[in-house]
Amino acid sequence: MAQLTLNSLYKTYEGGARAAVSDVSISVRDGGFLALLGPSGCGKTTVLRMIAGFEHPSDGTIQLGDRTLAGAGKMVPPEHRNMAMVFQSYALWPHMSVADNVGYPLKVRGVSGEARRRKVMEALSTVRLEPYADRRPADLSGGQRQRVALARCLVTEPAVVLLDEPLANLDRHLRQEMEETFREFHARSGATMIYVTHDQAEAMALATDVAVMSEGRLLQLATPEEIYARPEGALVGGLIGQGSILQVPLLTGEQRLFDWHALRHLLTDRRPGHSSDMLVRPQDVEIVEGGMSATVASVLFEGERYALKLALADGQLLRAFSRQPVKVGDVLGIVIRSGWRL
């Protein structure tokens, strides 16, 4: 096992108005779980395909430990990179049993007999599918098919497992179930994993590190906790969580975290001029008597709570939660316990 390093990766296509990937540098520690997070078209899948060897970088290098996989005129083909990939579509052979699907990469490599059977059963055990070894993919649920795909990539003991939005085709219940499977798979296998997703909840729940991308560029790389609590810039703040970005008078100095005393003063300051972006999470907005007045602009019942959009006196919108039912047009008192200057 070794660290995977992307150094100043670029990818441009002929006729493209801009680079699909621009100056992306990431180090994925051995045994880490990196999520590449961003909206469609941000370049995350292109990065994954360059790591896999399906795309040649226009510039930059990819290294696995001391071994250069791409760059400086060198391009190691996918089959020689010791990596495995799990796709959205599972890509299982319908005429083969689960065991034969999982064992196919070993068959291609010339592993046969008891050695192949043992490795297949070990891989199926990791994803808890030993009882299903003789079934066909058509007899399995979507979540079980995805587990077969995981077992198939694990059976060759790859240095890196690449996952391209593997939960996109599953319903909400199965996605939650498979998130637990991925966490367990990572813990039991010890494999380095790189996971592409546009779903920030998936990224935060699964990964040890999150790389947020937009328009081909890496915006921030940090742990889920760091990205959530201290996002860098309005794009990251808007992508992660359900926060609101408020405009406050221009702030100088190094202070980033603000309490209610400071925020109330900033939100009532009407001086014209340049402004700063302030991120406020909905869980930091409390509905209290005697607080700053805000008008309910919309209400969405989510089962265990109501999701609100509140209009402040200057027209800015703020997200909040309420345990009690409220109506559009109600005027509430609020206190903002915490804000983060972007």
Reference 242, options 231, 256, 226, 250; nearest CA is 231
**3: number of Cβ within 10 Å:** 15
Closest C-alpha among 314, 279, 267 to residue 295: 314
Judge whether residue 60 has pLDDT over 70. Answer: yes
Token pair of 98 as six digits:
């689960």
pLDDT of 216: 95
If one compares 330 and 253, the residue with the highest pLDDT of the two is: 330
As given in the structure block, the two tokens for residue 32 are 């880490």
pLDDT at 146 over 90: no
State the Cα–Cα distance between residues 210 and 225, nearest whole angstrom: 10
pLDDT averaged over every residue in the chain: 91
Give the separation between CA 273 and CA 249, rounded to whole angstroms.
Answer: 7
* Residues 254-287 pLDDT 10s: 999 999 999 999 998 877 888 999 999 999 999 9
Q: How far apart are the first and last CA of the chain?
A: 37
What letters, b where the CB count within 10 A reaches 16 and e where it falls short, cover 297-322? Answer: eeeeeeeeebebbbbbeeebebbbbb
Mean pLDDT (whole number) for 167-195: 80
Q: What is the pLDDT of residues 100-125, one digit of tens each?
A: 999 999 998 888 899 999 999 988 98
Please report the pLDDT score of residue 321 as a whole number: 96
The stretch 213-228 carries a mean pLDDT of 95
Alpha helices in 155-219 (DSSP H): 172-189, 200-206
Enter the pTM of the model: 0.84
Please tell me the predicted confidence (pLDDT) of residue 20. Answer: 94
Q: What is the pLDDT of residues 186-210, one digit of tens each?
A: 887 788 999 999 988 889 989 999 9
pLDDT recorded at residue 77: 94
Helix ranges, the chain (H): 44-52, 98-108, 113-126, 142-154, 172-189, 200-206, 224-229, 234-239, 260-267
In DSSP terms, 67 is beta-bridged to 64
* Residue (of 60, 151, 34, 53) closest to 104 by Cα position: 151
The tens digit of pLDDT for each residue in 7-42 reads 999 999 987 778 999 999 999 999 999 999 999 899
Q: Which DSSP letter does residue 139 get? A: G
Which domains does the chain show, CATH number per domain? 4-238 (3.40.50.300), 242-341 (2.40.50.140)
Looking at this protein, which amino acid is placed at residue 211? A
175-179, 249-253, 335-339: the lowest-pLDDT one:
175-179
**Number of helices (H) and strands (E), helices first, in the chain?**
9, 19
pLDDT higher than threshold 70 for residue 1: no
